[in-house]
Amino acid sequence: MVNIRTLCIHGNEDKRDLTGSVSVPIYQSATFAHPSVGETTGYDYSRRQNPTREHLEKTVAALESGTDAIAFSSGMAAISGLMEIFTPGDHIIASSDLYGGSIRLFQQVNTKNGLRFNFADTTSLDQIEALICKETKAIFIETPTNPTMRVTDISALSRIARSRNILLIVDNTFLTPYFQQPLLLGADIVMHSGTKYLCGHNDTLAGFLVVSDADLAAKLRHILMSLGSGLSPFDSWLLIRGIKTLSIRMEKQQENAMAIAQWLQGHEKVKKVYYVGLPDHPGFEISKRQSKGFGSMISFSVDSEETAKRILEKVNLILYAESLGGVETLITYPMLQTHADLSQEERDAKEINETMLRLSVGLEYADDLIEDLEQAFE
């Protein structure tokens, strides 16, 4: 079997191009002509499928060891499409500290449309089992979670889900298929915000759903065509280009993150560091079993709100901006950005307060990043 590093670069070798072009062509066409009545080239209308998007989807499916991947116009579009497989009255259990946008969608849109949600600490299998009822159709998790970096045992949870005929959905954005492959651990659906590490350059939006079951894939493709939320040809090409360097980016960003996490642990104004790669992290051993790496996302809490705001205002090399996974190191303030829609009570329960910051570590020289943080603390 071809190594995942090679898959990142070569992906789906069928480029549908006779010129020998090394770069996948961008088929910037909304529609495709029929050879004759009742015949098709395999492409009719780009809302349904486009050759450039198809190349990307086959690449992502191969990386995740799935049979099909469906590319959406954003991560939230992917989750929105996914929710359309459920019907009013269905019950879904979700990680309590998901990305704030996912919680907003579930609570403000999907609940209105008749779905019912319970949010739980999905690191606790007992807590999940206690919430399962006859209407439960899915368990939706992030691992590690955003931004508190909690780790769920995917294999153990998949055994519970399969025994109850419940779908297990895993948001794999933080670790990517390079470090973690949830389908091989028993998950039914893998979701990605392709905007993040898969793209890697903070220059486009994308989302993916990856599955192994052919019937489920067909259902999701019908939803994609009906909603019209497929990824555009040019954005598909940007993702193809970004994935080519996924392996080396993930390795180097992880190396930088470990150095920064260890430095933060020794700083007098840092009260807690949330990084899965630290041996004292509660999910360290589970992560070693189910993943090939720890990623490059770090959250940390400082001694006061004043210190947090001073860091945000004083960083120079590090950018105070939302999003994550790009080559540039970004710092965010979850309570005002990613989780601003949550109530104060909900944020406090998740330790997302005035003193928590989140770092997406990039590809810069690690010592330069540490030096920038050091001067920002002063």
Catalytic residues: 47, 99, 171, 196
Residue 341: CB atoms within 10 Å: 13
Angle between helices 214-227 and 75-83 (to 10 degrees): 110
CB 71 within 8 A of CB 53: yes
Q: How many helices (H) and strands (E) does the chain have?
A: 14, 12
* DSSP assignment string, 26-94: ----SB---SSTT---S-SBTTT--HHHHHHHHHHHHHTT-SEEEEESSHHHHHHHHHTTS-TT-EEEE
Beta strands in 172-274 (DSSP E): 189-193, 207-211, 270-274
Q: Tell me if residue 357 falls in helix, strand or coil.
A: strand
List the structure tokens of 314.
């004083």
Distance, in Å, from the CA atom of 57 to the CA atom of 54, rounded to the nearest integer, reads 5
Residues facing residue 92 across a β-bridge: 117, 138
Q: Among 147, 149, 192, which residue's Cα sits nearest to residue 330?
A: 147
